[in-house]
């Protein structure tokens, strides 16, 4: 007698367990069992507690700091390949090292390319990720990359706020394309055109801003700043302050990835921001800051998995 089994299974690493549970709820399946055994010297080993032979295996893990999270994902990929999985798909809601996407000065590494090489070398057959810091990182891979957009869940949330004088803002010139796409998404949902402004900033070093000013009029407007990552929150808080100084009625920030390192929680709490909204790509305890609101990516990722399994176009559920 042959027992029927699901054609795919979903497993999670330490930093992917919470969102993986939500993805499985959307898919109507159980989260697979995986063990991470740690040794006293900090080394760890990964093993699956159930068979994956002949199945498509989805491994959910964000590669945010520390580097243990990336290593854990690499070992999971290797374990699945050695257990005769049919396909191994790495679901990486937050792709770490993505800010190192080019040589912007002499003698520096391109971290995003190094990570791409390691994922492919470990045996990944496909990558699912959300809002890469730079679109061209997809070109670092020689395997399919499904690049999902956080705006699919964040834009409906902003639309639900029904802000009277909504205006979208980019925190820098480089993010203007992302902000413009977000404004178009809001237009699709509400049917109303949404204006946009840009913040100009000069940054002498990482996480340092020497000057910022607004290109556009925000007087009496409800400003929504759109970006991909909030790390130490220095840029966001500075932008919110500048918006208020220029007459904005309210300022919110909408981002895909809440890294929230160092002084970020305190800065956000003391800032001019009414609200900071980001996805659950990285685990975050909202008790750390009362201004933070989380929107889940689970539906978007689950629908992407369904599309892949049913050999449908992923663009049916994902568009900018």
Output the CA–CA distances (angstroms, integers) from residue 274 to 88, 106, 203, 248, 292, in the order listed. 41, 40, 25, 12, 9
CB count in 10 Å sphere of residue 125: 18
Catalytic residue among 201, 238, 291, 306: 201
Sign of the alpha-carbon torsion through 160, 163, 164, 166: negative
* Residues 8, 58 contacting (CB under 8 angstroms): yes
Output the CA–CA distances (angstroms, integers) from residue 180 to 196, 197, 228, in the order listed. 7, 10, 13
* Residues 241, 269 contacting (CB under 8 angstroms): no
* Residues 58, 10 contacting (CB under 8 angstroms): yes
C-beta contacts of 190-193 below 8 A and 24+ residues apart: 190/159, 192/166
* Residues 266, 237 contacting (CB under 8 angstroms): no
**Could you give the CA distance from residue 282 to residue 292 in angstroms, rounded to a whole number?**
13
pTM of the model: 0.93
> Coil, helix or strand for 184?
helix
Query: CB-based contacts of 299: which residues, under 8 Å, 6+ apart?
Result: 26, 153
- Measured at the CA of 33, the angle between CA 55 and CA 14, to 5 degrees, comes to 110
Beta-carbon-side half-sphere exposure of residue 64 (alpha carbons within 13 Å): 22
* Residue owning tokens 């399994």: 309
Residue 201: active-site member: yes
**pLDDT digit string (tens) for the chain, length 320 residues:** 344 467 999 999 999 999 999 999 999 999 999 999 999 998 999 999 999 999 999 999 999 988 999 999 999 999 999 999 999 999 999 999 999 999 988 999 999 999 999 999 999 999 999 999 999 999 999 999 999 999 999 999 999 999 999 999 998 888 899 999 999 999 999 999 999 999 887 655 555 556 788 999 999 999 999 999 999 999 899 999 999 999 999 999 999 999 999 999 999 999 999 999 999 999 999 999 999 999 999 999 999 999 999 999 998 887 65
Supply the pLDDT for residue 1.
35
């Amino acid at each position: 007698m042959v027992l029927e089994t699901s054609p795919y299974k979903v497993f999670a690493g330490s930093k992917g367990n919470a969102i993986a549970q939500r993805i499985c709820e959307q898919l109507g399946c159980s989260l697979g069992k995986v063990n991470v055994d740690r040794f006293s010297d900090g080394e760890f080993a990964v093993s699956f507690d159930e068979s994956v032979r002949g199945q498509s295996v989805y491994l959910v893990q964000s590669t945010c700091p520390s580097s243990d999270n990336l290593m854990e994902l690499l070992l999971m990929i290797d374990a699945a390949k050695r257990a005769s999985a049919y396909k191994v798909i790495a679901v990486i809601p937050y792709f770490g090292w993505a800010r190192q996407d080019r040589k912007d000065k002499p003698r520096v590494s391109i971290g995003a390319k190094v990570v791409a090489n390691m994922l492919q070398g470990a045996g990944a057959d496909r990558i699912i990720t959300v809002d890469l810091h730079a679109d061209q990182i997809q070109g670092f891979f020689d395997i399919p990359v499904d690049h999902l957009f956080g705006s699919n869940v964040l834009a409906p949330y902003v639309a639900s706020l029904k802000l009277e004088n909504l205006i979208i803002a980019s925190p820098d010139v480089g993010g203007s394309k992302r902000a413009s796409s977000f404004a178009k998404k809001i237009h699709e949902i509400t049917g109303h055109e949404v204006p946009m402004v840009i913040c100009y900033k000069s940054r002498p070093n990482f996480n340092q801003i020497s000057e910022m000013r607004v290109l556009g009029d925000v007087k009496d407007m409800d400003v929504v700043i759109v970006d991909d990552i909030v790390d130490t929150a220095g840029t966001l808080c500075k932008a919110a302050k500048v918006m208020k100084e220029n007459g904005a009625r309210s300022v919110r920030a909408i981002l895909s990835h809440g890294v929230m390192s160092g002084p970020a929680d305190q800065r956000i709490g003391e800032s001019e921001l009414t609200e900071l909204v980001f996805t659950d790509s990285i685990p975050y305890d909202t008790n750390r800051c009362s201004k933070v609101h989380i929107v889940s990516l689970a539906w978007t990722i689950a629908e992407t998995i369904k599309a892949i399994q049913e050999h449908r176009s992923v663009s049916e559920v994902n568009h900018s």
